[in-house]
Amino acid sequence: MTVTAFALVRLRNLFAVVMLSGIFSLLAAVLYVVLDAVDVAFTEAAVGAGIATVLMLGTLALTTGVVKEAPRKPLAALLIVSLTGALLIFGTLDMPPYGDPNAPIHHHVAPRYIEKSGSEVGPPNIVTSVLASYRGYDTLGEVTVIFTAAAGILILLGGRRRPGKKRRTAGKTGG
Amino acid sequence: MKSKPVLRVTSKLLIPAIMLFALYVQFHGDFGPGGGFQAGVIFASAFILYALIFDIDTARKVVPAWMMRVGLASGLLLYAGVGVVGLLLGGKYLDYSVLADNPVIGQHLGITLIEFGVGVTVASAMITIFYLFAGQGRQPEDS
């Protein structure tokens, strides 16, 4: 993953960048599988490696395939990124080791979900019951986000393409 | 892409399998990994493959853009509507236990319904976005 990330930064050919970001997503999905987060891995593989790559390629077809050289070396940006990265790594130093049963996250609501979801909600996949039932509001919010995103793109790109030219049929809104 | 018979035949074989797998992921999400989000994306990818191999105008004839917009809204409405039905039946918003006599069956029904809503919205959103991106830069026939 690190090699892919560095290659992503260095490459100037955007087609290769899109392909590499797809590979990066797939590697991330493999990482999630290793961490036993199968549902997340599934989503990452489908959305990150699949749909996002296709959409990027669609964008590339509309624009250009090679990035323009930056006018100057962005040293300030490098400094800010390094600082933020260092802070984030510093933050992880306090985290409990992976798989520690005494970690706070395992003592909040997780035991209740694991013990009760079988009798309260039913599905054997606890992820589903947490997502759809215990955290129903959150999932409703996520769906609303997707709806809003698609609606926003519809407004931005799906409107009338020729300003000054009247729409032929008022009732039909195909785009 | 009329000159690529291998791609055409292979995609014709693959697309039904992809859609069937999407439905499996959709309705088997209670038991294994998966759910509305993943199923919606997989379902959309079947159509995107179709639009890539054949033409996007052909894909538009199969799934018109207005149908995707209807799906986009109706999935979200289905999700929110299940919550409202729960309210009307005397429970809390998005509490599915009141949907049936047995709370567990009610939960199951509610989860299936809202996951279906999620799937419809996600698939419609992905196909809509793809249509819009891929349809740029060419003269659309009906907008």
What tens digit of pLDDT does each residue of B77-129 get?
A: 888 888 888 888 777 777 777 777 777 777 778 888 888 888 888 888 888 88
- The domain segmentation of chain B, as residue ranges, is 5-135
High-pLDDT (> 70) share of chain A, %: 75
Question: Is residue B86 within 8 Å of residue B95, measured between CB atoms?
Answer: yes
- pLDDT tens digits, A26-50: 888 888 888 878 888 888 888 888 8
**pLDDT of A1:** 78
Residue with token string 């599915």: B96
What would you report as the CA-atom Rg of chain B, rounded to the nearest whole angstrom?
Answer: 18
Reference B110, options A112, A39, A120; nearest CA is A120
Please report the pLDDT score of residue A134 as a whole number. Answer: 75
Does residue A69 register a pLDDT over 60? yes
Pair B120, B76: CB distance under 8 Å = no
pLDDT at A35: 84
Does A148 have pLDDT greater than 70?
yes
Using DSSP's 3-state secondary structure scheme, residue A70 falls into coil
CB contact at 8 A, B69 and B81: no
Q: According to the 3-state scheme, what is the secondary structure of A2-58?
A: HHHHHHHHHCCEHHHHHHHHHHHHHHHHHHHHHCCCHHHHHHHHHHHHHHHHHHHHH
Q: What is the pLDDT of residues B55-74, one digit of tens each?
A: 788 888 888 888 888 888 88
8 Å CB contact between B128 and B65: yes
Phi–psi pair at A13, nearest 5 degrees: -85, 115
The pLDDT assigned to B89 comes to 79
Which of B75, B137, B142 lies at the smallest CB-CB distance from A174?
B142
Q: From its phi and psi, is residue A99 left (phi > 0), alpha (psi between -120 and 50) or beta?
A: left
Cβ contacts (< 8 Å) between B92 and chain A: which residues?
none
Q: What percent of chain B has pLDDT over 70?
A: 91
- Give the confidence band of A174 by pLDDT, cuts at 50, 70, 90: very low
Q: Is B120 on the interface with A (CB under 8 A)?
A: no
pLDDT band of residue A160 (cuts 50, 70, 90) is low
Among candidates B101, B33, B61, which has minimal Cα distance to A131? B33
Which residues is A13 bridged to in the sheet? Answer: A66
Amino acid occupying residue B42: I
Q: Name the token pair of B13.
A: 């074989």
Chain A, window 62-81: residues with a beta carbon less than 8 angstroms from a chain B beta carbon: 62
CA-wise closest residue to B119 among B131, B127, B130: B127
**Span between the terminal Cα atoms of chain A, in Å:** 39
pLDDT of A65 above 90: no
Reduced to 3 states, what is the DSSP secondary structure of residue A66? strand
Inter-chain touch A150–B129, beta carbons under 8 Å: yes
Average pLDDT over residues B17-43: 82
ipTM above 0.95, yes or no: no
CB contacts of A29 in chain B (<8 Å) are none
User: Any CB–CB contact under 8 A between A145 and chain B?
Assistant: no
Instruction: Please indicate whether, in this complex, the C-beta atoms of A174 and B35 are within 8 angstroms of each other.
Output: no
* Rounded Cα–Cα distance for residues B77 and A100 (Å): 41
- pLDDT tier at A169, thresholds 50, 70, 90: very low
Task: Tell me what pLDDT residue A166 has.
Answer: 44
pLDDT score for B28: 79
Tokens of A82: 């390094």
Residue in chain B lying closest to A122 (CA):
B104
The minimum CA-CA distance between A131 and chain B, rounded to whole Å, is: 9
**What percentage of chain B reaches a pLDDT higher than 90?**
1
Asked if B72 and A145 touch (Cβ cutoff 8 Å), the reply is no
